[in-house]
């Protein structure tokens, strides 16, 4: 069982270490970066400490906290502008991903898997309906990435084939 003082200790230690490294000049963090990384660390701690245990609520909260920290970090780093219409799709997709992690980590019934797929699909559908998604520009972007990453893709496929044969 996770205790509140453990959580506070982990967050305080992470924030103190981040601030110390920032003051020394090894890394440069601002407050939003420290907050997003703190959410990521806290989410990993929740999932890792409660996976396999009986507390599926903390596994779910940990997964969603990790995703929220990652979202805030990406939005802050790339200076993305998101409109208010994307809040509900993001919540649905994070909830679906959190339920999927609960399904994987806690050995629960397949109802969690079905519900996670439904929530994620609803969030993705809402996001696509509210965006100006064009399949042609998407395919151009995918081809540009594949053109750049083709050696990595070949290496990953070879590793998968070698591991699978053993």
120 shares its domain with 65: yes
Work out the angle at residue 89's Cα, subtended by the Cα atoms of residues 84 and 91, and round it to the nearest 5 degrees.
Answer: 95
55 shares its domain with 78: yes
Within 10 A of 70 (CB to CB), how many other CB atoms are there? 16
The predicted pLDDT at position 152 comes to 78
92 shares its domain with 151: no
76 shares its domain with 156: no
pLDDT digits (tens, 9 = 90+) for 114-135: 999 999 999 999 988 887 777 8
User: Could you tell me where the DSSP H helices lie in 79-134?
Assistant: 87-106, 110-130
The whole domain housing 20 covers 4-133
Compute the residue count for the chain.
Answer: 166
The predicted pLDDT at position 114 comes to 94
Give mean pLDDT, residues 67-72.
92
pLDDT digits (tens, 9 = 90+) for 1-41: 556 777 778 788 878 888 888 788 777 777 788 888 888 88
Total count of domains within the chain: 2
59 shares its domain with 127: yes
Give mean pLDDT, residues 137-164.
79
70 shares its domain with 12: yes
148 shares its domain with 159: yes
Judge whether residue 63 has pLDDT over 90.
yes
For tokens 């890792």, the residue is: 48
The predicted pLDDT at position 159 comes to 74
116 shares its domain with 86: yes
- Who has greater pLDDT, 124 or 142? 124
8 shares its domain with 69: yes
Read off the pTM.
0.73
pLDDT exceeding 70 applies to what percent of the chain? 95
Give mean pLDDT, residues 145-158.
79
128 shares its domain with 150: no
From the list 49, 42, 31, the residue with the least C-alpha distance to 70 is 42
Distance CA(143)–CA(61), nearest Å, equals: 36
The predicted pLDDT at position 74 comes to 86
155 shares its domain with 105: no
The predicted pLDDT at position 3 comes to 67
103 shares its domain with 165: no
Distance CA(53)–CA(43), nearest Å, equals: 16
Q: Do 104 and 62 contact (CB within 8 A), yes or no?
A: no
């Amino acid at each position: 069982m996770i205790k509140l003082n453990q959580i506070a200790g982990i967050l305080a230690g992470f924030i103190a270490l981040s601030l110390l490294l920032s003051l020394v000049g090894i890394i440069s963090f601002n407050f939003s970066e420290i907050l997003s990384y703190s959410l990521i660390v806290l989410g990993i701690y929740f999932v890792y400490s409660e996976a396999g245990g009986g507390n599926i609520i903390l596994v779910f909260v940990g997964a969603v906290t990790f995703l929220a920290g990652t979202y805030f970090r990406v939005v802050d780093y790339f200076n993305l502008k998101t409109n208010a219409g994307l809040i509900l799709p993001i919540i649905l997709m994070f909830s679906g991903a959190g339920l999927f992690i609960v399904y994987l980590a806690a050995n629960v019934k397949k109802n969690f898997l079905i519900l996670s797929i439904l929530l994620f699909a609803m969030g993705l559908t809402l996001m696509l309906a509210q965006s100006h998604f064009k399949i042609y520009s998407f395919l151009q972007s995918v081809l540009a990435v594949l053109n750049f990453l083709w050696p990595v893709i070949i290496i990953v496929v070879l590793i998968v084939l070698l591991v699978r044969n053993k």
